[in-house]
Amino acid sequence: MTNPYIPWPVRVERVTIENDAHDLKTFELSFVNPADRESFRFAPGQFGFLSISGVGEAPFGIASAPHEDRIWYTVKRAGAFTTALHEIETGTTIGMRGPYGNSYPLDLAKGKDLVIVSGGFSFTTLRSTVVHVLKHRSEFGKLTVVYGARSAGELLYKDELHAWEKSADLHLVVCVDRLSGAPWPAREGLVPNVLKEVAPAAANAVALVCGPPIMIRYTHPVLETLGFKPNQVFLSLENRMKCGIGKCGRCNIGEKYVCKDGPVFSYEALSKLPTDY
Ligand SMILES: Cc1cc2nc3c(=O)[nH]c(=O)nc-3n(C[C@H](O)[C@H](O)[C@H](O)COP(=O)(O)OP(=O)(O)OC[C@H]3O[C@@H](n4cnc5c(N)ncnc54)[C@H](O)[C@@H]3O)c2cc1C
Ligand code: FES
């Protein structure tokens, strides 16, 4: 039996600074043994653990799409591990284990409209979702994405956002909490308010939501007002984790393990759980 805690060696191929504060970086990784890439099959919404020998490990959502060769993670500098990761240089070998957890319900969404709502640096696994859906465009209905951040400088993947704004394949609405004179984006407003104005149709649609708790709290009533039922709305959680594989009990909500039963839950499923998420 293989040890599930042993990470694959992966090489840091590229590091991109995503924001003005320089505390958000995207790491593009390749497998040191190319055959491992074949074994690393994942779906949008799943996560992995990155590790640095002698420092530790931490979980992060996979930001690349399954068909992309390199595995992307976008990481905010928060404490000891993420600070060490931010200091890593290209060409360095680190560890990665996973993929873990369930994924966004893209099979359920096939043939339906997809509404993606996100704020700040939580857009990572939804970036994976958008890139995946664009690759398999004919399998889905209308794709609406509402993505916001505090300011223009805090938006992730700016080059892609610019390209997607011009694309007929999706309706992307980018917003910032407060305009600051920057030429882009032009739309001011908090994500839930902008979602209300965009008003995507709920009939035959699935909504995927990932963002800071405050955004999630105010987004849910807007989706309800638009007619989305609890079984049409899916949310990705980021409870603290240790093992990632349902062994340690660090991440559970009631009887559910966020690492194994989630991190993606429908509002319908969450409404049956204690509210400590
Ligand atoms: C499933 C999952 C996916 C995640 N995806 C991403 C991602 O794509 N990008 C990213 O930057 N981060 C992500 N995180 C959070 C990331 O794991 C933590 O920021 C990281 O573990 C911090 O490690 P550290 O040693 O640098 O800081 P620590 O010293 O462990 O923590 C620094 C600060 O961050 C807080 N913190 C740590 N973990 C969490 C958490 N899960 N939720 C809220 N606050 C936390 C601590 O309380 C402390 O205040 C994810 C977490 C989970 C569980
Ligand atoms: S992190 Fe150990 S059980 Fe979920």
Distance 221 CA to ligand 1 centre (A): 27
pLDDT at 274 over 80: no
Burial of residue 239 (number of CB atoms within 10 Å: 0-12, 13-18, 19+): middle
pLDDT at 3: 84
Q: For atom 17 of ligand 1, which residue has the closest CA?
A: 59
The average pLDDT across 101-120 equals: 96
Any ligand 1 atom below 6 A from CB of 241? yes
* Residue ID of nearest Cα to ligand 1 atom 28: 79
Ligand 1 center to 173 CA (angstroms): 27
Ligand 1 binding pocket mutation candidate from 74, 121, 238 (most atoms within 8 A of CB): 238
Ligand nearest to the CA of 263: 1
Residue 144 has φ and ψ, to the nearest 5°, of -115, 130
pLDDT band, very low/low/confident/very high, at 276 (cuts 50, 70, 90): low
Does pLDDT of 277 surpass 70?
A: no
Q: From 127, 240, 252, 277, give the residue whose CB has the most ligand 1 atoms within 8 Å, as the site to mutate.
A: 240
Could you tell me the pTM of the whole model? 0.96
Q: Which residue has the tokens 């996560």?
A: 47
100 lines ligand 1 (CB under 6 A): no
**Packing angle of the helix pair 124-135, 158-166 (nearest 10 deg):** 40
What are the strands, taking DSSP E only, across 18-134? 24-31, 47-52, 56-61, 71-76, 93-100, 113-119
Q: Which ligand is nearest to the CA of 240?
A: 1
- Mean pLDDT score, 6-24: 96
Does residue 50 carry a pLDDT above 80? yes
What tens digit of pLDDT does each residue of 238-262 get? 888 999 999 999 998 888 999 999 9
Helical residues (DSSP H) of 31-105, grouped into ranges: 34-39, 80-86
**Band of residue 2 on the pLDDT scale cut at 50, 70, 90:** confident
CA of 256 to the centre of ligand 2 (A): 10
Over residues 22-46, the pLDDT tens digits come to 999 999 999 999 999 999 999 999 9
Pairing of strands 171-176, 143-149: parallel
Which residue among 251, 255, 261 has the greatest number of ligand 2 atoms within 8 angstroms of its CB, and so is best to mutate? 251
Mean pLDDT, the chain, integer:
95
Closest ligand relative to 4 C-alpha: 2
Question: Ligand 2 pocket check: which of 47, 97, 248 to mutate, most ligand atoms within 8 Å of Cβ?
Answer: 248
Mean pLDDT of the region 195-212: 96
Give the confidence band of 175 by pLDDT, cuts at 50, 70, 90: very high
Q: Which ligand is nearest the CA of 258, by number?
A: 2
Are 15 and 27 spatial neighbours (Cβ–Cβ below 8 Å)?
yes
3 burial (CB, 10 Å; 0-12 / 13-18 / 19+) is exposed
